[in-house]
Amino acid sequence: MFSFFTDVGRWTAWQGVGGELDAQPGGALRIHMPGGQIASGELVELVPHSRIVFTWGWEGDVPPVSPGSTTVEIELEPVETGTLLRLTHRGLAPPPVAEHHRQGWERYLERLRVRAEGGDPGPDTMA
């Protein structure tokens, strides 16, 4: 599961249509979304197979979440049936922005589950 956050090809198999990723602390993250938006940030922490922390925001005219203005923490825990993934996205305000991102992450984590289990979630069409 860890490699789905450290390899841009594996990442964009479940979210986005392309991007750049420098998988080291301080490395840049840019995910190109199907509607033309670009999510960008920086990798803050990578603990192999257990934890990924990165900043997150949107380039261009997508207020109020500017690049790097929020933080996403991913915790991975092995369980009997696979991997338990906990995602916490901090710094989102006001409430409609947080709700929009919650819905987006729920959709994308389902796509990640399908891909991680060897399935094909289909093309990313979220605009």
Predicted confidence (pLDDT) per residue in 52-99, tens digit: 999 999 998 766 799 989 999 999 999 999 999 999 999 998 888 899
CB burial readout 29-66, b (16+ within 10 A) else e: bbbbbeeebbbbbbbbebeeeebbbbbbbbeeeeeebe
Given a cut of 70, is residue 29 above it in pLDDT?
A: yes
Give me the architecture of the 2-116 domain, per CATH.
Answer: 2-Layer Sandwich (3.30)
DSSP-derived secondary structure letter, 50: T
Whole-structure pTM value: 0.93
Report how far residue 82's alpha carbon sits from residue 20's, in angstroms, rounded to the nearest whole number.
Answer: 28
Nearest to 110 by CA among 127, 85, 89: 85
pLDDT of residue 93: 84
pLDDT of residue 22: 98
What would the two tokens of residue 88 be? Answer: 């916490």
What would the two tokens of residue 3 be? Answer: 């490699």
